[in-house]
Structures are given as C-alpha cells and as structure tokens.
C-alpha cells in the first residue's frame, strides 16, 4: 500500500496553508471594507461641502467675472 501517512501529512499541510491564506484574505477584505466605508463618508462630506459652496455663490464673485482684456 502506498505511503498513506505521507500523503495524509501532505494533505494536512496543504489544508493548513489554505486555511491560513483564507484567514489572511478575510482580514484584508474586512480592512478594505472599512477603508471603503471611510472613503465613501469622506466623499459624501465633500459633495455636501461643494453643494453648500455652490449654493452660497453670488454672481459678482470673481470666478464669474470676465477679465478686463475681453
């Protein structure tokens, strides 16, 4: 009969490697999920701020005026 103990040891080692890799990837997925949530919150805050700035803009603001050489 082939070396069953050796095969079993190799399978257990492969399983342990796959289990560790899965745990590592799970941690990365959770970390990137948290980062994504923070970035989305920051983006929403920036959109609100830009909207507020646009709402307070008046026609006589320098960005709307033509330069004198026109």
What integer pLDDT is reported at residue 51 of this predicted model?
92
Interatomic CA distance for residues 52 and 64, integer angstroms: 17
> 30, 11, 29, 8: which is closest to 19 by C-alpha?
11
pTM confidence score: 0.60
21-69 residue pLDDT tens? 999 999 999 999 999 999 999 999 999 999 998 888 666 666 666 777 7
Interatomic CA distance for residues 37 and 27, integer angstroms: 16
* CA distances to 3, 28, 39, 59, 64 from 36, in Å: 49, 12, 5, 37, 36
What integer pLDDT is reported at residue 62 of this predicted model?
64
């Amino acid at each position: 009969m082939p070396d069953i103990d050796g095969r079993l040891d190799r399978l257990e080692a492969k399983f342990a490697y796959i289990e560790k890799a899965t745990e590592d990837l799970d941690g990365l997925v959770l970390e990137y999920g948290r980062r994504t949530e923070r970035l989305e919150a920051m983006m929403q805050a920036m959109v609100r701020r830009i909207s507020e700035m646009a709402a307070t803009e008046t026609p006589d603001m320098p960005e709307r005026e033509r330069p004198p050489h026109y």
